[in-house]
Structure 1
């Protein structure tokens, strides 16, 4: 086994676990939850890119581009919803999100 692949896999797992902890431990701030979701997407694309380099295959890089496209659209839509919610409620607290109907 190559040390390059082991170190990148360890880095991917570390970033992935930190982002999962950020998603599930934080229950109050929606911005930190969105940033953790972005970091989750970036960690998975990081793994796909380095596995594509290691295996000398381009399919991992294509998946990484697709993941980054989904991450960009998710952040744009999420921030737009957040701005509209803040204009209506004057707060971005996650506890009050269950009051939204429709």
Structure 2
């Protein structure tokens, strides 16, 4: 098997994810773009595992499983933060999130 097609597909997925993170304003769409990047990494790990003879058998598949678990945890925590932000401000636009809260008396 030629690994060029999966590597190019992974590069396109990763590039699309980076574009989504940099250009989107909605926090849910940013999380979806991060998931695209993690899936691209999984594709690279699995392709490298099947094409490269490594010392550790099925090492890429094990690392891909860890990335999937990490992605599930990231989505759980990320969506909880987005839901709390929506409850507090009724908006999930990333560019409107204050990075430092000032006390009430200093506004």
TM-score interval (norm. to shorter): 0.7 to 0.9
1:34: which partner in 2?
31
Please give the alpha-carbon distance, in whole angstroms, between the structure 1 residues aligned to 2:84 and 2:29. 18
Please give the alpha-carbon distance, in whole angstroms, between the structure 2 residues aligned to 1:86 and 1:6. 42
Higher helix share: 1
Q: 1:101: how far off?
A: 3.2
1:10: which partner in 2?
8
Unaligned regions of 5+ residues in structure 1, if any?
none
Please give the alpha-carbon distance, in whole angstroms, between the structure 2 residues aligned to 1:72 and 1:16. 18
Question: What is the CA RMSD across the aligned residues, in angstroms?
Answer: 1.7
2:20: which partner in 1?
22
Q: 1:100: how far off?
A: 5.6
Please give the alpha-carbon distance, in whole angstroms, between the structure 2 residues aligned to 1:83 and 1:7. 38
Please give the alpha-carbon distance, in whole angstroms, between the structure 2 residues aligned to 1:99 and 1:10. 37
Structure 1 range deviating more: 46-55 or 68-77: 46-55
Give per-residue Cα distances to partners, 1:44-78, cap 9 Å, x unaligned.
01110121112254111111011111111000000
Unaligned regions of 5+ residues in structure 2, if any?
103-107
Please give the alpha-carbon distance, in whole angstroms, between the structure 2 residues aligned to 1:74 and 1:7. 28
1:70: which partner in 2?
70
Bigger Cα Rg: 2
Q: 1:99: how far off?
A: 5.3
Distance 1:101 1:7, change over 3 A: same
SS in 1 for 2:3: helix
